[in-house]
Copies of this chain bind each other. A is one copy, B any other.
Amino acid sequence: MVGMTPEATRTAGTTGTTGTAAKRGRPPAFDRTAVLAAATRLFWERGYQATSVGELTGAMGIKPGSLYAAFGDKAALFREVVEGYGRSPEGGFVGVALAQEASARAAFARILREAARIYPDPTHPAGCLVMNAAVNTAAQDEEVAEFLRGLRAENLRLFEERLTDAERLGELPPGTSPAALARYFGTVLQGMSQRARDGADTTELAATAELALAAWPPERP
């Protein structure tokens, strides 16, 4: 059932009216990015398993046949949703901060403060999609759980990488290992995502972020 994954299901364009060479066959009746956005909202809100295909087709405005023809199956749709989420501002702010900030401390301070703003933002479901969908998957969905675990592990690896650089530059508090600090900030970030889902607002999460940063003494300019 899985494993045939047709590579020919790319429609690419958002509106489709771009000047690319015309395609054969009947064109899709839906905007791929629009229906992906609808699916994203649902998965973000309810998680992977708790979101049914029926709810998905309802929110996306397409029939099951179209969904399976365009995306493969529920798991493949979810993976595509997560990929898109990682490229969005709400899902990609961590990578952006790590890449843009000059010092490691500035990067992690920005990450925590932006999380305090983004996670409880009422214009989208609360928390981080990847962290939300984390817990509680049935035995049958083990592949999806492993996929999500991998994403979180990759995030921790990026944290550690950045902090190892910081250690070489003498930015770290004495006696602190980069790995330990990376896992600490990862833990706080996961906690903040879950707190947001429990209704924590920006003010509360911002205070948490500042307290969490106290584990790291201020920079000496």
Contacts and interface: CB of A to CB of B under 8 A. Distances in A.
Interface of A: 46-52, 127, 131-139, 141, 149, 152-153, 176-177, 180-181, 183-184, 186-192, 194-195, 197-200, 204, 207-208, 211-212, 214-215
SS class of chain A's interface: helix, strand, loop or mixed? helix
A47 B135 contact: yes
A195 B180 CA distance: 13
A138 B46 contact: yes
A153 B127 CA distance: 17
Given A50-B141, A134-B198, A187-B191, 17 more contacts: A46-B136, A49-B50, A50-B137, A131-B135, A131-B194, A134-B197, A135-B136, A149-B198, A176-B211, A177-B207, A183-B195, A184-B207, A184-B208, A187-B192, A189-B191, A191-B191, A212-B212
Number of copies: 2
A55 to B, nearest CB: 9
B134 A135 contact: yes
A190 B132 CA distance: 12
A134 B194 contact: yes
Given A47-B136, A152-B198, A207 B183 contact: yes
27 contacts: A46-B137, A46-B139, A47-B136, A50-B137, A52-B138, A131-B135, A134-B135, A134-B198, A149-B199, A180-B211, A181-B211, A184-B208, A186-B195, A187-B191, A187-B192, A187-B212, A188-B212, A189-B191, A190-B191, A190-B194, A191-B191, A191-B192, A194-B194, A211-B215, A212-B212, A214-B215, A215-B215
